[in-house]
Amino acid sequence: MTGPRNAAAVASLVLLCTAIGCTNFYEVPIETPIQPKMDVTPFTRILVAGFISGGSDDVDGNLETVRLLRSQLRSKSTLRVIEAEVLPLVDIAREQGKEPAGPSSSSETTGGGAGQTPADPPPSTPPVPQQPPAGEPAPQQPPPTPSPTTGQAAPVPGVESTDGKIRNEKDLERYQSIFENVAFWKKLGEQHQNPLIVTGTVLFTNTQSSGFVNQNREIIDPLGRRVVQPYRVYMERKGFIIEPRFVFINGRPGDVLFSDRFHEEVLYPASQQTPARSSYFELMDRLIPSFLGSLSTQRIRGTRVLLK
């Protein structure tokens, strides 16, 4: 009985191997739809108004971001892109942030009536600095502490830098109130037939890093074959970081519908000279699909392996 059973098992194995050998593998392209993050059906027009940008002086984050997003929306969105002048949002935010000086009360200057002594200043009034006697030099103020990374004066938190530029995330926080100015965005929407308004912030900065990184090298093994072998090497690198925040505003009431924040960075060997503008577009290319995914259905293309 053992012989026939072994023969049947061998025959089954041969038949299985033959079937596997005749099986065909082929790939089928598929598309997976990704639903948008917000409903834009009430809108037919879109306005990329402008951005509060800062960081590197080599790239105008406001102008370049507006141009890039408008170009992408023309070809990949059903909304009509409004061609308008790019708003200098930094200057507009500074004008909105200025507090008008109110007139002084008459009771504070005259004491409330004739024959009365002037009222004492409020306790919060800072003391007037004493002037040095004649012939003596004025005391020297200590210079600002240099930054350990740039060699320039370190910015004081909450105080605008002397050059008026935005250098870091802390500087951007002083301008966030412009996105809550409903009257401003409502007026802008009325000028352009109540579109969907795209605005936000863009921070594009330099960065440096050092440490061990993984690399691959090709070697010849003892059998003469080419083999890729991973190894770790210590390397100093430099590059750029981009941190945009996209804010979508309904142009009719002027309120914020949705906002999304991103972070991308790229590093190169320290000896490699890469223009900042090239790195900006390289990083933005990674973010564009996510930006478009907020407005319309995106499809991810892939393949599926089937057996025949």
pLDDT (tens digit per residue) in 8-43: 665 665 555 555 555 566 677 777 777 778 889 999
- Non-local (6+) Cβ contacts of 244 within 8 A are 51, 65, 200, 201, 202, 203, 261, 262, 287
C-alpha span between 29 and 303 (Å, rounded): 4
Choose among 223, 230, 179, 182: nearest CA to 201.
179
Q: What is the pLDDT of residues 266-296, one digit of tens each?
A: 999 999 999 999 999 999 999 999 999 888 7
Do residues 188 and 49 lie in contact, with contact meaning Cβ atoms separated by under 8 Å?
yes
Largest CA distance in the chain: 133
Structure tokens at 38: 């917000």
Q: What is the pTM of this model?
A: 0.66
Higher pLDDT, 16 or 214: 214
Torsion sign over Cα 138, 141, 142, 146: negative
Q: How many CB atoms lie within 10 A of CB 256?
A: 15
Do residues 184 and 71 lie in contact, with contact meaning Cβ atoms separated by under 8 Å?
no
C-alpha span between 216 and 229 (Å, rounded): 6
